[in-house]
C-alpha cells in the first residue's frame, strides 16, 4: 500500500515536472526566435512526431513509477535545489541565452579556454560544450547545467538516469551494500549519485569528474546525505587501484569524448572494476537504435556545441566494451537514451584495443 502511494506521488510529481520543463522548453524556443537566432537545420533523416516523443517519455515515467511501486528503489528525489534558487537559475538561463545563441551563430566555443586552470586540462575538454559560457569550467555553468539539461529533455533527464538503478539493484540484490564500492565516472553535478545514495545509504560511493566547479555543485547537492568521495581527475587516467570498484557507471559522458579517449576511458573502467564487477552505461541513442528518430540525432550537434557527438552516434560501443573485457548483459533504449549493462568477466584479461579506432579522433 505504501509503495502504491509512493508510486502515485511520483507520477503526480513527474507530471508537474514535465509540465514545468515543457513550458521552459517552449519559452526558450520562443525567446530564441524573438532574438532572431532560432536553430535552422533540416535533417536529411526522419524525425519523430511530438506524439511519438510523448509516448516514449510517458513509458519512461511509468516504468520508473512501477519500479517505485515494486520497491526496487525509492521515489525520485534528484533535485535538492530550493524553489527560489531554482527560479533564480531559470532566470539566469534566460539571461545567458543571447550569449549562447551568439556563440552558436558564429560557431565560437572557446570561452572555456580563458577560465582559470583551463591550460592544465586536455584541449578536447576545454571547450564550450552546448555553447555554455565557460564550458564545464565556470561556476555559472555548473549552476545552470541541470536546468538547461532538464529543459532540453522536458524533465526526462532524471528519469533516464534512474533507469540505471534497475540493473544496479539486480546486481546488489543479496549482497551486503556496506562492502560494495560504486564509482560514477563523469559524475557532473551529482544528480545520479544523489539517487544512488538515497537507495543505498551504506554503500561506498565515489564521484569522479574533471571539473572543479561541477564537483563543488555536486558536493552542495548531496547536502547532508552520507559522505561521498569526490575525485577531480580525468576519466582516462583514474587515480584508483586495479580491481578496486564493484560497480562503475558513466552517464551522459561518452558522447562528449573523442573516439580515442572513449576507448581509453573504457579500458580504465575495465581496469578499476573487479572481476565480475558491473558497468552501467547511459548515454544518447545512436543512429539506427530507432531509425525513425535518426534526424533528431543528426540535428543535435547543429543546435549545441557537441564536437564528438557525430562520432559517438555511429561508434561501435558493443565491440569497444567487449574488447575491454566487458561482456554484454542487456541493452535498452529508454526514451532518448541508451542503457547498456556490461559485466567484467571473472577471469578478465582485456583484449588488445581496437587498432584503427585508437588512431582516430571523432
Summarize as ranges the residues that interact with ligand SAM (CB under 6 A).
125, 136, 161, 186-188, 191-192, 209-211, 214, 234-236, 251-253, 256-257
- The least distance separating ligand SAM from the CB of residue 124, rounded to whole angstroms, comes to 8
C-alpha cell at 320: 569497444
Please identify, using beta-carbon distances, which residue of 32 and 337 lies nearer to ligand SAM: 337
Q: Which residue is nearest to ligand SAM (CB)?
A: 188
Please identify, using beta-carbon distances, which residue of 214 and 230 lies nearer to ligand SAM: 214
- The least distance separating ligand SAM from the CB of residue 159, rounded to whole angstroms, comes to 12
On whether the CB atoms of residues 182 and 249 are closer than 8 A, the answer is yes
Q: Which residues contact 187 (CB under 8 A, 6 or more apart)?
A: 193, 207, 208, 209, 214, 215, 218, 230, 251
- The least distance separating ligand SAM from the CB of residue 196, rounded to whole angstroms, comes to 12
- What is the rounded distance in angstroms from the CA atom of residue 362 to the CA atom of residue 357? 9
C-alpha cell at 287: 543512429
Helix, strand, coil share of the chain (percent; to 5) = 50, 15, 35
Q: Sign of the CA dihedral 220, 92, 122, 296?
A: positive
Please identify, using beta-carbon distances, which residue of 234 and 326 lies nearer to ligand SAM: 234
Residue in the structure block whose three cell numbers are 548483459: 329
Please identify, using beta-carbon distances, which residue of 7 and 253 lies nearer to ligand SAM: 253
- The least distance separating ligand SAM from the CB of residue 282, rounded to whole angstroms, comes to 8
- The least distance separating ligand SAM from the CB of residue 33, rounded to whole angstroms, comes to 26
Please identify, using beta-carbon distances, which residue of 7 and 166 lies nearer to ligand SAM: 166
Say if residue 45 is exposed, middle or buried (CB neighbours under 10 Å; 0-12, 13-18, 19+): middle
Amino acid at each position: 500500500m505504501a509503495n502504491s502511494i509512493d508510486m502515485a506521488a511520483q507520477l503526480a510529481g513527474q507530471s508537474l515536472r514535465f509540465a514545468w520543463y515543457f513550458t521552459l522548453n517552449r519559452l526558450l524556443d520562443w525567446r530564441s526566435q524573438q532574438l532572431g537566432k532560432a536553430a535552422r537545420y533540416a535533417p536529411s533523416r526522419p524525425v519523430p512526431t511530438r506524439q511519438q516523443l510523448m509516448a516514449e517519455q510517458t513509458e519512461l515515467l511509468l516504468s520508473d513509477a512501477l519500479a517505485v511501486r515494486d520497491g526496487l528503489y525509492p521515489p525520485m528525489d534528484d533535485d535538492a535545489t530550493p524553489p527560489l534558487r531554482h527560479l533564480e537559475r531559470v532566470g539566469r538561463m534566460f539571461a545567458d541565452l543571447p550569449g549562447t545563441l551568439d556563440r552558436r551563430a558564429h560557431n565560437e566555443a572557446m570561452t572555456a579556454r580563458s577560465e582559470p586552470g583551463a591550460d592544465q586540462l586536455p584541449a578536447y575538454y576545454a571547450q564550450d560544450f552546448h555553447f555554455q559560457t565557460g564550458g564545464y569550467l565556470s561556476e555559472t555553468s555548473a549552476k545552470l547545467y541541470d536546468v538547461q539539461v532538464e529543459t532540453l529533455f522536458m524533465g526526462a533527464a532524471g528519469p533516464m538516469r534512474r533507469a540505471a538503478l534497475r540493473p544496479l539493484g539486480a546486481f546488489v540484490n543479496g549482497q551486503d551494500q556496506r562492502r560494495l564500492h560504486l564509482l560514477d565516472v563523469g559524475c557532473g553535478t551529482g544528480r545520479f549519485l544523489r539517487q544512488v545514495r538515497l537507495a543505498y545509504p551504506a554503500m561506498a560511493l565515489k564521484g569522479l569528474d574533471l571539473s572543479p566547479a561541477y564537483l563543488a555543485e555536486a558536493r552542495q547537492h548531496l547536502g547532508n546525505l552520507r559522505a561521498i568521495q569526490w575525485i577531480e581527475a580525468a576519466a582516462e587516467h583514474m587515480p584508483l587501484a586495479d580491481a578496486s570498484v564493484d560497480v562503475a557507471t558513466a552517464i551522459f559522458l561518452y558522447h562528449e569524448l573523442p573516439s580515442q579517449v572513449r576507448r581509453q576511458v573504457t579500458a580504465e573502467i575495465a581496469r578499476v572494476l573487479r572481476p565480475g564487477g558491473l558497468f552501467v552505461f547511459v548515454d544518447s541513442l545512436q543512429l539506427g537504435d530507432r531509425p525513425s528518430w535518426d534526424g533528431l540525432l543528426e540535428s543535435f550537434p547543429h543546435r549545441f556545441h557537441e564536437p564528438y557527438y557525430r562520432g559517438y552516434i555511429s561508434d561501435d560501443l558493443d565491440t569497444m566494451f567487449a574488447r575491454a573485457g566487458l561482456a554484454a548483459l542487456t541493452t535498452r533504449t529508454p526514451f532518448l537514451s541508451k542503457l547498456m549493462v556490461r559485466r567484467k568477466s571473472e577471469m578478465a584479461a582485456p583484449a588488445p584495443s581496437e587498432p584503427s579506432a585508437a588512431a582516430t579522433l571523432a
